[in-house]
Amino acid sequence: MTFAAITAAASQLDAACSASEKNSVELASCSAAAQYIADGCLVDAPLGRVGLEMEAHCYDPADPQRRPGWDEITEVLQWLSPLPGGSMVSVEPGGAVELSGLPADGVLPAIDAMHRDQAVLRSAFADAGLGLVFLGADPLRPAERVNPGARYRAMEQFFAASDSGVAGAAMMTSTASVQVNVDAGPQAGWAARVWLAHALGPTMIAIAANSPMLGGEFSGWVSTRQRVWGQMDSARCGPILGASGDDPGTDWARYALKAPVMLVHNLDAPDLTAVTRYVAFADWADGLVLLGGRRPTLADLDYHLTTLFPPVRPRQWLEIRYLDSAPDAFWPALVFTLVALLDDPAATDIAAEAVEPVATAWDTAARVGLRDRRLYAAANRCVAVAAANAPAELSDAMERLVCRVERGRCPGDDFSERVIKHGIAATVAEAARSTQGGL
């Protein structure tokens, strides 16, 4: 998903440098890096554009224990025609397939384009005897990397050498999400907008939770995906808001510079090297530590930012990364709710008031979801205000979501009940065969 392709860079330094030139521009200090990050992380723009990214686990319905290999998956994609909605297709480390949609002028066009692209993609995989399952975490198979890309090999080495090795492997190969990308909006409103995007996180996690299992077992958490992310290094995956939250650019710069460097490009070779000791990017930028025998360039800083995975990531626009992957029965209403709460002036103040008591309840949301009374109250207020402003095309989907939230149910409850009744392998196989991408 590349809002950047049609968004002017905010940083003068960034605008002055081509991609090749950035490889030769050495950072003079941590302060220079901080200024570069803060200047370019958000772009002053009107609200309205929405982009979607959707991940799905690839399964063999005839043998759901088996993880389809790289050659099988890429063979399907090799013959895939350009998708009608314009999405790009990529393959995650564990073989999950991702659709990255183009920015659309509004949430309904974004949903429609993604629907059309998903239908073509599912048909192509079905023709190859494979299926796509939209769950936040792989419920059946152990973590295993199938994508041979150099970035993912090096990431695997980085996590194996860290305290979050098990969580890192699960994050890379066993989780899937719905990502919602929205404009940063007018600069005067950035602080409030970034705060609300974060504050909505726990409530939206509770509403959208769709990952009760991992590796063949019930985890005891309604969003095992969020649990996995919560077990990661908070310097790389935690929320970015600082103490005041009134300057998103400064908060992001501080976060990025404290975060450890994951990967370093070798200037004399095309490969990547994992950094297997803790080196904050600030220390590299200040020359206190040399990686690859050198100080970092602007290209190194740009790449470092792609290795940080907070729940809300500023990339000139806002990437909202905390929703579990969900099938067609759920994701359009979930996406509409989130966008409405962020972009509709009639909803933002109500949403901010509703979620403030649970704005930092990330673990509670992932563990018990709507069984928490505060999250239940916030969720009901949020879906009600979103449904009140829903267009006719989504009225039925929003009504179903409102009813489910009122009953305290999340999407993963349906999956859990089927597993208990039919067994996990049979349930996953049925989901893989489904034309709706789930149950």
Contacts of 106 (CB under 8 A, 6+ apart): 48, 49, 50
Q: pLDDT for 267-323, tens place per residue?
A: 766 689 999 999 999 999 999 999 999 999 999 999 999 999 999 999 999 999 999
Q: Could you tell me which of 254, 208, 157, 236 has the C-alpha nearest to residue 382?
A: 208
CB 416 within 8 A of CB 438: no
Measured CA to CA, the distance from residue 439 to residue 310 in angstroms comes to 29
Q: Tell me which of 8 and 354 has the higher pLDDT.
A: 354
Q: How far apart are CA 32 and CA 34, in angstroms?
A: 5
Residue 288 within any structural domain of the chain: no
Contacts with 14 (C-beta within 8 Å, 6 or more apart), sequence order: 36, 39, 40, 298
Q: Around Cβ 61, how many Cβ atoms within 10 Å?
A: 17
* Structure-token match 């070798």, residue found: 266
Confidence grade of residue 244 (pLDDT, cut at 50, 70, 90):
low
| 347 contacts 389 by C-beta, under 8 angstroms | yes
**Does a structural domain hold residue 5?**
no
Tokens representing residue 404 in the block: 């489910």
155-182 per-position pLDDT tens digit? 999 999 988 889 999 999 999 999 999 9
* Better-scored residue on pLDDT, 435 or 373: 373
Asked if the structure places residue 423 within a domain, the reply is yes
Instruction: State the CATH number of the domain containing residue 232.
Output: 3.30.590.20
Nearest CA to 59 out of 84, 80, 76, 81 is that of: 76
At residue 228, the pLDDT reads: 97
Q: Which tokens sit at 230?
A: 């919560």
- Compute the mean pLDDT over every residue in the chain, rounded to the nearest whole number: 93
pLDDT of 237 higher than 90: yes
- 281 close to 290: Cβ distance less than 8 angstroms: no
Sheet strands (E) in 289-420? 312-314, 318-324
- What is the amino acid identity at position 341? L
The vertex-325 CA angle with 42 and 368, nearest 5°, equals 100
Q: Write the DSSP symbol of residue 5.
A: G
Q: Using CA of residue 241, residue 244, residue 245, residue 246, what is the dihedral sign?
A: negative
Query: What pLDDT does 24 receive?
Result: 73
388-423: pLDDT as tens digits: 999 999 999 999 999 999 999 999 999 999 999 999
Number of domains making up the chain:
1
Alpha carbon distance 146, 300 (integer Å)? 26
pLDDT score for 312: 97
Residues 328-333: what's their mean pLDDT? 97
DSSP 214-242: ETTEE-S-SBHHHHHHHTS-HHHHS----
Is-contact 104 115, C-beta < 8 A? no
Instruction: Return phi, psi of residue 202, to 5°.
Output: -60, -40
Q: Given this model, what pLDDT does residue 25 score? A: 86
Nearest CA to 322 out of 220, 416, 159, 201 is that of 201
Q: Choose among 114, 132, 116, 115: nearest CA to 76.
A: 132
What domain range is 224 assigned to?
33-259+308-431
Helix (H) or strand (E) holding 97: strand 97-100
CA pair distance 34, 254, nearest whole angstrom: 7
Is residue 404 assigned to a domain?
Answer: yes
Q: How many residues does the chain have?
A: 439
Strand 318-324 and strand 88-91: the pairing is: unpaired
Q: Are 133 and 59 in contact (CB under 8 A)?
A: yes
Q: Which of 330, 420, 341, 323 is nearest to 384 (CA)?
A: 341
DSSP β-bridge partners for residue 57: 133
Please tell me the distance from the alpha carbon of residue 249 to that of residue 131, in angstroms, as a whole number: 41
Single pTM value for the model? 0.94
Task: Express as a percent the part of the chain with pLDDT over 70.
Answer: 93
Beta partners for residue 265, in sequence order: 272
**Beta bridge mates, 264:** 273
| 2: pLDDT strictly greater than 80 | no
> Using CA atoms, how far apart are residues 311 and 204, in angstroms rounded to an integer?
12
* Inside any domain, residue 7: no
| Rounded distance between C-alpha atoms, residue 156 and residue 154, angstroms | 5
